[in-house]
Amino acid sequence: MEIFLQQVVSGLATGGIYGSLALALVMIYQATDVVNYAQGEMAMFSTYLAWTMINAGLPYWAAFVATLAIAFVGGLVIERVVIRPVENAPILTIVIVCIGLLVILNSLAGWIYSYIQKPFPSPFPETPIVIGTVVFGAHDLGAIGVTLVVLVFLYVFFRYTMLGLAMRAAAQNPSSSRLCGIRVGWMLAVGWGLAALVGAVAGMMVAPIVFLDPNMMGGILIYAFASATLGGFTSPGGAVLGGLIVGVVENLVGTYVRFIGTELKLTVALTMILVVLVVKPSGLFGRAVVHRV
Amino acid sequence: MTGARAWERALVVAALALACALPFALSGFRAFQFTQVGIYAIALLGLNILTGYNGQISLGHGAFYAIGAYTTAIMLDKWNVPYGLTIPVAGLVCLVAGFLFGIPALRLEGLYLALATFALALAVPQILKYFEHWTGGSQGIVLSRPEAPAGLTLTPDQWLYFMTLGVLVVLFVLSANLLRGRTGRAIVAIRDNPIAAQAMGVNTALYKSLTFGVSAAYTGVAGALSAVAVAFVAPDTFNVFLSITLLVGIVVGGLASISGAIFGALFIQFVPNWAQDISKAAPWAIYGIFLIVFMYTMPRGIAGSLKLVLNRLARASGGAGGPV
């Protein structure tokens, strides 16, 4: 029972991280119908920036905030400079541009920081927290907390601010929004910025667990895809919940189903994606998109 | 129209003559690189049939490439089957695998299909390592390179090159015929408007999963050829980057174009090498920049741009008036 609870909590922690990255994917997808394959590498690069600042002597939380700011501006600039010229191109062209972005960021990180794994500090104490008879990692609990804060912030932003409302409008109906005076192009750019910011949080929370290296987000990106698929690509809340479910299932299956262990973990993600897509393609909380013929 | 056709035909003949002369003018290593181009071209043609002509996006064709390569490697390693026989078998195995994967794919469109196949590509190395008894685990399987048959005075590199070229020509002619006829029209109709196609009596489900199978078979044959040519298979060579590279190949080469497969193959074989020459430190960054610039300047790929030029040439020379 104790092992079970521990696995669930650590599953929730990694699940929260998957959920954050899934949320970043969903935000861009909703606004532009594009799945940003470079999302993971953008998060990885932001985490390296945080590492540089912490190594230069900045306190952790100062570096954290600075990284978020840089990630936001970076995402915004990438949308304006790289994505905008192909905005109206066929969808596959945009996919290839995203892939180009992915290899550029990956290669740059390897060039600047080398491919050797680096430890990344956790802002939370190392001593585990004991509740009753169950031992929880402090970083696990902290990561869950940080993820929740980000979610509440985004919810409030989209629900209660003018900019959030404008962004939702731009995503839902670009031409009407434009007629109302919303600068749709800039709303998309802000969306990319916010997605990069959320991704940076995910990167900094996952780096203490998986260690920092240029390829660290590869596996996590696929779990984020699984989460977004499970929750539904049209539902931000669903993506986060999907992340939590994926995280917990991943841990429980790895612990209790002997022949899977850690070797076939990615295959679990593949199976989940396939099952969801075949049984209910719109995900648990997404709405089915109806096309007019 | 006739003008453009004539130009096209002349180009094909010239390209074939060049391809036959190539290995005699080049070093063994260069010939091997062009063998690799031929292998990629077959794989790209397979992917292009699926993505370009049928409109089903696959980010996981590396998986079929791997299945083809491993089928050949296991048959050579465990049962000593002659390598010439293993290649069609690899194609058949992939035909079945692709057909079976195509059935759940029927329910998926666009993005969702891309995701499902992407997950497939990511999972493949792990699955290959898991069945260690057959696949040799992460060590992979080491094979021996075939010699040219007795009587032909060719080096092994040249022999592999001509074998690949032969398979390539056969498969290209087959696909050209397939796509030009009734079946090809059905495949394209499904891409352009599935509902209208269905209303016209096209069995969309059957055609889509069959296209998936044929596409996988082409890619599987390419994988099998690569196992023979490289004489080594290991799980980590079939990672997700292989699948992404294949997708890059068809988009850069030109979607829904048969010659595009060749241009795309040349791109994915040689541009990473150039990138390496330009910058040893970050070759992939240079590659990524190439990729993005290519997409900005030629959104329809090399074949698409070339077609424009050909049409202009035909109009300028014959005055017959090509399609605008």
Q: Which residues of A touch B107 (CB under 8 A)?
A: 277-278, 281
Alpha helices in B27-131 (DSSP H): 28-48, 61-79, 83-105, 110-130
- For residue A74, pLDDT beyond 90: yes
Query: In angstroms, what CA-CA distances link A77 with A70, A190, B179?
Result: 10, 9, 43
| Token digits of residue A69 | 């700011």
The torsion region of residue A235 among left (phi > 0), alpha (psi -120 to 50) and beta comes to beta
CA dist B124 and A237 (Å) reads: 31
Encoded amino acid at B237, one letter:
T
Q: Which residue has the higher pLDDT, B112 or B42?
A: B42
pLDDT band of residue A134 (cuts 50, 70, 90) is confident
Average pLDDT over residues A30-52: 86
The torsion region of residue B216 among left (phi > 0), alpha (psi -120 to 50) and beta comes to alpha
- For residue B5, pLDDT beyond 70: yes
Query: In angstroms, what CA-CA distances link B142 with A50, B77, B226, B228, B239?
Result: 44, 8, 13, 10, 18
Average pLDDT over residues A85-96: 78
Residues B62, B121 contacting (CB under 8 angstroms): yes
- For residue A261, pLDDT beyond 70: no
Mind listing the pLDDT tens digit for each residue in A200-227?
998 898 888 888 888 888 778 888 888 8
Residues B64, B94 contacting (CB under 8 angstroms): yes
CA dist B301 and B255 (Å) reads: 7
Strand-pair partners of A136: A129
Residues B61, B246 contacting (CB under 8 angstroms): yes
Q: What is the CATH number of domain B2-318?
A: 1.10.3470
CA dist B81 and B295 (Å) reads: 44
Task: Give a yes or no: residue A130 inside a domain.
Answer: yes
- For residue A198, pLDDT beyond 50: yes
With residues binned 3-state (H G I as helix, E B as strand, rest as coil), the percentages for chain B, rounded to 5, are: 80, 0, 20
Average pLDDT over residues B120-127: 80
pLDDT band of residue B100 (cuts 50, 70, 90) is confident
> A 138-177 residues with CB below 8 A of B?
none
- For residue A293, pLDDT beyond 70: no
Q: Check if the interface score ipTM surpasses 0.95.
A: no
| Token digits of residue B23 | 């290995």
A92 in B contact zone (CB under 8 Å): yes
| Token digits of residue B107 | 């329910």
Task: Give a yes or no: residue A242 inside a domain.
Answer: no
| Token digits of residue B262 | 């060749």
- For residue A50, pLDDT beyond 50: yes
Average pLDDT over residues A1-27: 83
Q: Which residues of B touch A99 (CB under 8 A)?
A: 244, 247-248, 288, 291
CA dist B215 and B136 (Å) reads: 27
- For residue B277, pLDDT beyond 50: yes
Task: Give a yes or no: residue A207 inside a domain.
Answer: yes
Q: Is B154 exposed, middle or buried (0-12, 13-18, 19+ CB in 10 A)?
A: middle
Query: In angstroms, what CA-CA distances link A174 with A166, A183, A184, A195?
Result: 10, 9, 6, 19
Encoded amino acid at B166, one letter:
G
Q: Which residues of A touch B115 (CB under 8 A)?
A: 35, 225, 229, 273, 277
Task: Give a yes or no: residue A272 inside a domain.
Answer: no
Q: Which residues of A touch B123 (CB under 8 A)?
A: 266-267, 269-270
Domain count, chain A: 1
φ, ψ dihedrals at A212, nearest 5°? -90, 120
For residue A96, give the chain B residue with the closest CA: B248
Q: Do the chains contact at B247 and A95, CB–CB below 8 Å?
A: yes
pLDDT band of residue A77 (cuts 50, 70, 90) is very high
- For residue B210, pLDDT beyond 80: yes
Q: Where are the domains of chain B?
A: 2-318
Q: Do the chains contact at B282 and A108, CB–CB below 8 Å?
A: yes
Domain that holds residue A191: 2-217
Task: Give a yes or no: residue A167 inside a domain.
Answer: yes
Per-residue DSSP letter, A212: B
